Amino acid sequence: MKKKLNKLLKKYNEDGYVRLGKIVTKKYSGLLSNRALSLMSGKKTYEGMFFQLEGEKGQYKKIDKKSEIFVGPSKRYRKIKDLEYDNLFFKVIKNKYLEFFSNNLIGKDASCMRAMILNKPAKHSSKLKFHQDVSDNWNMSGKPNFTFWMSLNGATKKKGCLKILEKSHLMGKIGDGHFISKSNLDKFKKLKVKYLELKSGEAIIFNNFLLHGSEHNKTTRMRLAFTVCLMDAKIKHKRFAKTYPKIFGKGCLKYNDIKNLTKIPKKTYKD
């Protein structure tokens, strides 16, 4: 197993991402999909959990970035965060691949910037432009390191699977990071766009400097994914000087800590 993991790590360093293969069974992937739908419908609730609706008619610019609460049953929630506190998703976060990559790329102590569902609704889903998952404008004392991205119900090109520019991570942070200017993006014209189609339960890990995005969902089924972004546990929110939920290392979250939670603990970015 160690040889396989080292091979995956080498591929990750070279290309900026690596396919991990199947992480959970079809049955467990189904449980996760059902949990996502239960959260969207309000059948399963956590007080204080983050919800964000898709923009009107699938327009990214019309997404209300200030709203982060459940506003009623809907299959149009594009983001649901705080899943490190959900018992089903927590078990996935603690998988051997995440722990191995965390130990090798971050160190023994790693925290979670976010653990969330990414949904592309069946109709009028937004297109996500190429971007990096780092930014100088985020109120953090450091940069997140890598992201685990797992499909819950199949991610095809038609459904809006992840697309990447292979090896773009080698450029490091571009400008201020996150969404980059057209002139900066033009520098990557020679790099081929790759569409990373995944079956249910399959996952990848990608470097947060890697340019990535996704197209509209053109099918009649929602595209559900689960993502976890990890970083050094020393990183704090600059304004409130709080660290983020610790996933690996001394004093990290344990299953028994979260298995009976009904309320999300106080957030790092709130007083």
| AA identity, residue 111 | S
Could you tell me the pTM of the whole model? 0.95
Q: What is the DSSP letter of 168?
A: G
| AA identity, residue 268 | T
pLDDT tens track for 6-52: 999 999 999 999 999 999 999 999 999 999 999 999 999 999 999 99
Question: What whole-number distance in Å separates Cα of residue 208 and Cα of residue 154?
Answer: 23
Tell me: pLDDT of 271 over 90.
no
Q: What is the pLDDT of residue 90?
A: 98
Looking up tokens 């603690």 gives: 94
Question: What whole-number distance in Å separates Cα of residue 54 and Cα of residue 75?
Answer: 9
**Contacts for 235 with CB less than 8 Å, ≥ 6 apart:** 111, 113, 140, 141, 142, 143, 144, 243, 244
At 193 the three-state DSSP class reads strand
Q: What is the pLDDT of residue 63?
A: 87
181 pLDDT tier (thresholds 50, 70, 90): confident
Looking up tokens 């739908």 gives: 37
